[in-house]
Structure 1
Amino acid sequence: DSNKYCQNCGSKLLLKDRYRPLNLIGQGGFGRTFLAIDEDKPSRPYCVIKQFFPAAQGTNNINKAAELFEKEATRLDQLGKHSQIPELMAHFTQDGRQYLVQEFIPGQNLAEGLNIEAPYKEEEIRGLLKNLLPVVGFIHSHNVIHRDIKPENIIRRQNSDRQLVLVDFGAAKYALGTALLKTGTTIGTPEYTAPEQNRGKAVFASDLYSLGVTCLHLLTKVSPFELFDVGEGTWVWRRYLQNNSVSEKLADVLDKLVENAVNRRYQSVNEVMETLGADAPVNLTLIQDKTALQTPKVTPAPVPSQTWKCIHTLIGHQKWVCSVAFSKDDKIVASGSEDETIKLWEVDSGREILTMRGHSGYVNSVAFSPDGKILASGSDDKTIRLWEINTGKLLCILGDWGRGEYFGHSGGVTAIAFHPDGKTLASASKDKNVKIWRLGDDIYDANFGKVMMTLSGHSRPVRAIAFSPDGKTLASSSEDNTIKIWDLSLGNTVKNLCNYYQGVHYIYALAFSPDGKILASG
């Protein structure tokens, strides 16, 4: 506690000679958040330090992010006098980095609470709305749109009044004069974001939409993505109430809060409060620029005709699904997961056929052989496994020790692809290389599973590979922001597609068009 400098790097441990960070409590976007102590006060109270930290983001939007960080401090200084918004204590630059220090709110955010509690009842939702709507009205009266209202950004104070506090104004924006009519940055959390905000046209009613979606999530404990039927273009949250009744009056309020079309949604906090039968939160007529609070009439964009529908949701993996692949006859889907398993699913019924276990790392890629008899899987455990489709039997491991030597990758396998003739397999790895493996027709052939060539040239991990339809070339993309086209007869690059993306970006996906004339990258 008495140290002033880091014994490892020599940096000052105290910010502004008074704020001492204790531990990292969050990281995302362009900032890191620390729990800290204000050593300048006798009581040494807790506070929160937000550090602008874009170093590892790999983006060309750092200037925009720095501007947003600066504006967050300005808004907190203006809005933090409200008892349900954290107070700004300091904003400064030290050692070339921006910081803001704000009041620490002891308590649990609503997302954390929901993990251990039952879904909210009607009275709890009404209480939440009556508690939070005045706060939203307050920020709107200062011409600010929060743009990121969600359970994670609402904290219930750990004291007798148990008031709700709205936090994280990093995404907020001013809405002065004609600003509401301009297309801006798309920002917010997709699950809770209003359609017009996703198009860069956030209005005051966008915050009401996010608050409504938050209520639906708290009522059901189900992701908002699942509560909206894309095929029908309607919310279906009532299906997920789990013996939790909601009166028609509150249901109508929630439905109107989450209307897709802005002009059918509540236009102001006062409207919602009046419907709920509560006192209006603020006298909006006191604002000098009254036009700033008027939501412009918005004509919704025509909804495109639906050309697809979800036929099955395949549930069974315990962790993220990293990859999927269709068999050539379209009857089977394979999936690889962070739970280190591969599953085969029947397309027509959505039934799980079997689970294949053996990898000791994330299964990053799966691929069917052209004849549909073999499934290949690539994993963070640095190996590629070949499986018999009909039985799920492990046929062999490529990259494993064998014959007294090791031919495999020295890093995790990120992508695999079968050659169109089915006799060759390519693999990409975090070791920055691509390997071409000989398969042939006979698994018992002495040369089966040997490396034919190693393609080196990328300066960072390779993330995606794709054979051209004629099988003569291979495309590879990397975290080094380049795409290379390899001539497989020579084993060298014939073309480098460099810096098609400004800044440093990982290129995660590649696909050739059927005629081989176009390559798409993501």
Structure 2
Amino acid sequence: MICCLNPDCPNPLNPNGKKFCQSCGTPLVSLLRNRFRVIRVLSDEGGFGRTYLSEDIDKLNERCVIKQLAPKFQGTWSQKKAMELFAQEAQRLQELGEHPQIPTLLAYFEQEGCLYLVQQFINGDNLLKELQQRKKPHTAREIQAILLDLLPVLKFIHDRNVIHRDIKPENIIRHKSDGRLSLIDFGSSKQFTARVQNKSGTSIGSHGYSPLEQIRDGKAFAASDLFGLGATCFHLLTGTSPFQLWMECGYAWVSNWRQYLRTPLNAELDWVIDKLLKKDIQLRYQSADEVLRDLMPKQPLALPPAGKSTATIPVTKASNLPKSYGLLRILVLGSAFIMLFGFSESWYKHFRRIQTTLSSRLIHNSPSKNNPILGQALKINLSKVSLFKTLQGHENSVLSIAISPDGKTIASSGDDGYEGLRLRKIQLWNIATGTQISSLNTYSGHVNVVIISPDGKTLVSGNDDSSIKIWNLVTGRQIRTLTGHSDSVHTLAISPDSQTLISGSDDNTIKIWDLATGEQIKTLTGHTFWVRSVAISPDGVILASGSFDKTIKIWNLAKGYSIRTLAGNSQTITNVAISPDGKTLASGSRDRTIKLWNIATGREIRTLAGHDNTVTTVAFSPDGQILASGSRDRTIKLWNIATGEEILTLAAHTNTITSVTFSPDSKTLVSSSDDNTIKIWRLVE
């Protein structure tokens, strides 16, 4: 399809090969600037242009967003102001796009009388759409997580003297792959200078979300953005729009905002929201750092008692520590100092690597019965890892992959479709040749996850519409649909005997199903946020689950009760996997690390650090020697399980890695990505 760029065209999509739009007669442009292929309209900007979903052919058809400025009233004040803001947005993205939670500017140009701004595509929904879809307000815990995710972004832009001026739910997008929030739409942003502080300017912002000094006087400060953040949190907590309240009673609502709450907040969060929403700027928080200090737990700079876990140092009993205990103490103190006072991201990254390496060595030199990996060091030499083939068949992100037990077939899920009719596809591929075997259309929400049963007979998919679909893998026919979850299904696991199905959902629950009959056996509750990963031990006895509530739970699968909770992570858990011998659990997190745990004792074995962004997926090789991890940093890393050492890094994908999995013989690795591709790697020893 080719999209018409006339902002007034009522039906812009046209078949390929057409020279003129069938709807409005405008000449069609196949490539903007000979580089960008426009796919479809994302939004209409009310007479000033449109925003389009596009592909960058110079980057292997990577998705991007193109904003078009085509004002109708040439020479007017409105047109001049629109052009000023448009150029301003490009300038801000150029300055700030280095941050992983701010879109990167790809291009800015004029073509045929219109201005175009091209930026990175954030694959996800904004917080307003998320609120509308979930049909219930956010919890206090979820709001605190949102604050902790966004405040460092605001600190980043404020430290560079930029004020966003339009913080609201529509301008915050949650990435589908890992839940991280991105701040978008810098069209209203302004450089914070002495002139801005002392001179009234144009009133820009959104009523209800922008504070009095911004709406009335056109002045904006860091504290003004913090008011917008507070109003956003209020909206998500109550489901009540600040704009509607502003229409009814102006700024009076900020004095009695608590009356709209369904349940009272804890004292800490109540204090923070109240101070964010102060009408008087002098009484409001002045910086993101001030808010973070009130949100972070007040803990003294001291070494934790022996046996207690921390967020940064692998758990080790004091009695097992070597003589170099003082060095470990220094590492803990240094970590606490960084958490409280902060350093640059690059300094922190290097510190974490040094810290993890030293801690790993300390523990490795102190064998313990609680650590099943120690004493089994095995040197792994991969003489050659080659990219065998890249599979291209999905039109959008490839969200999940699975390999059949015979090692012959790959199943992949993605969000493919067209305007109006969305065909959510599951693709089946021949792993030996890389050719597509067949395609299964689900006609439902995003197919978030696919899995193949150990007996090779059944394919199961988990969908965004909260359903689970069961398929005959051989015939490709759908057997049944399971319903019971009230929100998206993002993770699945099947027991070794192929009789039991496990599903995890954004409704915070885990459900156990009879795979043969589709009967729901039990619902496991305990997580307080989205369940995004589940894994079953090889003997079918243990179930592990990872959640955005920053915890991992270990369950007795047969009896359906929780054995223990692992809570040593400082950020959300994105993925969990259990080793082939059933002794070790690996967890990936948004804190950019992988943790290895002793399943029997619940103790942390070691932390693997090396990725530069969120770890999105982890997988053990069937021979038990290698752990593969994928990340938002667009790389795959292979680790020696026995030593914790990084073996090598695979860098060929051009976007977030969404899934990795090994073939049954451990000689092939398959990866999927938000770059719309699947890659097959050959591992040779």
Of 115-124 and 232-241, deviating more is 232-241
SS at match of 1:205: helix
Deviation per CA, 1:287-343: give whole Å up to 9, x if none.
xxxxxxxxxxxxxxxxxxxxxxxxxxxxxxxxxxxxxxxxxxxxxxxxxxxxxxxxx
The one-letter code sitting in structure 2 at the alignment partner of 1:238 is: R
- Aligned position for 2:266: 247
Deviation per CA, 1:338-364: give whole Å up to 9, x if none.
xxxxxxxxxxxxxxxxxxxxxxxxxxx
The one-letter code sitting in structure 1 at the alignment partner of 2:259 is: R
Q: Please, which of 76, 94, 115 is the counterpart of residue 111 of structure 2?
A: 94
Maintained 8 Å contact 1:4/1:13: no
- Aligned position for 1:128: 146
Q: Please, which of 260, 274, 294 is the counterpart of residue 275 of structure 1?
A: 294
Q: Please, which of 155, 162, 181 is the counterpart of residue 144 of structure 1?
A: 162
Maintained 8 Å contact 2:37/2:54: yes
The one-letter code sitting in structure 2 at the alignment partner of 1:181 is: N
- Aligned position for 1:403: none
Give, in whole Å, the separation in 2 of the partners of 1:167 and 1:84: 9
1:57 shift after superposition: 9.4
In the TM superposition, 1:215-234 aligns within 5 A as 215-225=233-243, 230=250, 234=254
Q: Taking structure 1 as reference, are residues 145 and 5 closer, same or farther at Cα in structure 2, changes over 3 Å only? A: farther
Q: Please, which of 206, 225, 236 is the counterpart of residue 224 of structure 2?
A: 206
1:237 shift after superposition: 2.4
Question: Please, which runs of 5 or more residues in structure 2 have no aligned partner?
Answer: 2-15, 298-338, 345-685
Q: Taking structure 1 as reference, are residues 150 and 282 closer, same or farther at Cα in structure 2, changes over 3 Å only? A: farther
Q: Taking structure 1 as reference, are residues 57 and 262 closer, same or farther at Cα in structure 2, changes over 3 Å only? A: farther
Q: Taking structure 1 as reference, are residues 281 and 101 closer, same or farther at Cα in structure 2, changes over 3 Å only? A: farther
1:41 shift after superposition: 2.6
1:116 shift after superposition: 2.1
1:264 shift after superposition: 0.5
Q: Taking structure 1 as reference, are residues 33 and 93 closer, same or farther at Cα in structure 2, changes over 3 Å only? A: same
Deviation per CA, 1:366-404: give whole Å up to 9, x if none.
xxxxxxxxxxxxxxxxxxxxxxxxxxxxxxxxxxxxxxx
- Aligned position for 2:174: 156
In the TM superposition, 1:372-411 aligns within 5 A as none
SS at match of 1:12: coil
Verify: 1:119 aligned to 2:131, yes or no. Answer: no
Deviation per CA, 1:192-240: give whole Å up to 9, x if none.
1110000211111100000000000000001114557559564322222
Q: Which has the larger radius of gyration?
A: 1
SS at match of 1:191: coil
Q: Please, which of 257, 260, 278 is the counterpart of residue 259 of structure 1?
A: 278
Q: Taking structure 1 as reference, are residues 57 and 105 closer, same or farther at Cα in structure 2, changes over 3 Å only? A: farther
Deviation per CA, 1:92-149: give whole Å up to 9, x if none.
1111211010011001110001012221111101100000000011011111100111
- Aligned position for 2:257: 237
Deviation per CA, 1:457-487: give whole Å up to 9, x if none.
xxxxxxxxxxxxxxxxxxxxxxxxxxxxxxx
Maintained 8 Å contact 2:202/2:218: yes
- Aligned position for 1:480: none
1:18 shift after superposition: 1.4
The one-letter code sitting in structure 1 at the alignment partner of 2:193 is: L
1:259 shift after superposition: 0.5
Q: Please, which of 102, 105, 118 is the counterpart of residue 122 of structure 2?
A: 105
- Aligned position for 1:289: none
The one-letter code sitting in structure 1 at the alignment partner of 2:111 is: Q
Q: Taking structure 1 as reference, are residues 56 and 109 closer, same or farther at Cα in structure 2, changes over 3 Å only? A: farther
Give, in whole Å, the separation in 1 of the partners of 2:150 and 2:166: 14
The one-letter code sitting in structure 2 at the alignment partner of 1:167 is: I
- Percentage identity across paired residues of the two chains: 46
Give, in whole Å, the separation in 2 of the partners of 1:114 and 1:90: 32
In the TM superposition, 1:473-512 aligns within 5 A as none
Maintained 8 Å contact 2:203/2:218: yes
Maintained 8 Å contact 1:110/1:152: yes
Q: Taking structure 1 as reference, are residues 149 and 234 closer, same or farther at Cα in structure 2, changes over 3 Å only? A: closer
The one-letter code sitting in structure 2 at the alignment partner of 1:61 is: S
Give, in whole Å, the separation in 1 of the partners of 2:106 and 2:157: 19
Give, in whole Å, the separation in 2 of the partners of 1:46 and 1:127: 28
Give, in whole Å, the separation in 1 of the partners of 2:280 and 2:52: 39
SS at match of 1:40: helix
Q: Taking structure 1 as reference, are residues 70 and 274 closer, same or farther at Cα in structure 2, changes over 3 Å only? A: same
SS at match of 2:196: helix
Q: Please, which of 200, 204, 227 is the counterpart of residue 183 of structure 1?
A: 200
Q: Taking structure 1 as reference, are residues 67 and 227 closer, same or farther at Cα in structure 2, changes over 3 Å only? A: closer
Give, in whole Å, the separation in 2 of the partners of 1:210 and 1:57: 33
Give, in whole Å, the separation in 1 of the partners of 2:78 and 2:29: 28
Maintained 8 Å contact 1:35/1:49: yes
Maintained 8 Å contact 1:192/1:210: yes
Measured on the aligned residues, the alpha-carbon RMSD in Å equals 2.3
Higher relative contact order (CA 8 A, sep 6+): 2
1:10 shift after superposition: 2.5
Give, in whole Å, the separation in 2 of the partners of 1:47 and 1:19: 9
Maintained 8 Å contact 2:70/2:113: no
In the TM superposition, 1:287-436 aligns within 5 A as none
Question: Please, which runs of 5 or more residues in structure 1 have no aligned partner?
Answer: 285-522
Maintained 8 Å contact 2:196/2:219: no
Verify: 1:170 aligned to 2:187, yes or no. Answer: yes
In the TM superposition, 1:1-150 aligns within 5 A as 3=17, 5-6=19-20, 8-28=25-45, 30-42=48-60, 44-55=61-72, 60-117=77-134, 118-150=136-168
Give, in whole Å, the separation in 1 of the partners of 2:100 and 2:20: 36
1:25 shift after superposition: 1.1
Give, in whole Å, the separation in 2 of the partners of 1:266 and 1:251: 14
Maintained 8 Å contact 1:220/1:237: no
